[in-house]
Amino acid sequence: MAEENDLEIEAGGGKSKKMLFIIIAVVVLIAGGAGAFFMMSGDDAPETEETLAEESLETQSAVPSGKTAEMGSALYVGMPRPFVFNVPGAGRDRLVQIKVQLLVRGDANEEAAKRHIPLIEGTLLSIFSTANADALSTSAGKADLRTKSLQEVQQSLSEIEGNKVVEKILFTGFVMQ
In what helix (H) or strand (E) does residue 86 lie, and over which residues does it extend? Answer: strand 83-87
Residue 46 has pLDDT above 80, yes or no: no
Sequence-distant (6+) residues with CB within 8 A of 114 are 77
CA torsion sign for 133, 135, 138, 141 is negative
Rounded CA separation 102/61 (Å)? 27
In what helix (H) or strand (E) does residue 119 lie, and over which residues does it extend? Answer: helix 117-128
Torsion of CA 65, 71, 74, 78, to 10 degrees: 160
pLDDT score for 21: 87
Sequence-distant (6+) residues with CB within 8 A of 154 are 164, 165, 166
77-87 pLDDT, tens digit each: 999 999 999 99
Averaged confidence pLDDT in the chain: 80
pLDDT score for 172: 92
Percentages (nearest 5) of helix, strand, coil residues in the chain: 55, 20, 25
Which whole number is the average pLDDT over 123-129? 92
Q: Which of 13-17, 30-34, 119-123, 129-133 has the highest mean pLDDT?
A: 119-123
131-162 pLDDT, tens digit each: 988 889 899 999 999 999 999 999 999 999 88
pLDDT score for 33: 82
Report the phi/psi class of residue 4: left, alpha or beta, with left for phi > 0 and alpha for psi in -120 to 50: alpha
pLDDT score for 51: 46
pLDDT score for 31: 85
pLDDT score for 43: 52
Rounded CA separation 142/135 (Å)? 7
8-31 pLDDT, tens digit each: 555 556 778 888 889 998 888 888
Rounded CA separation 39/128 (Å)? 49
57-67 pLDDT, tens digit each: 444 444 444 44
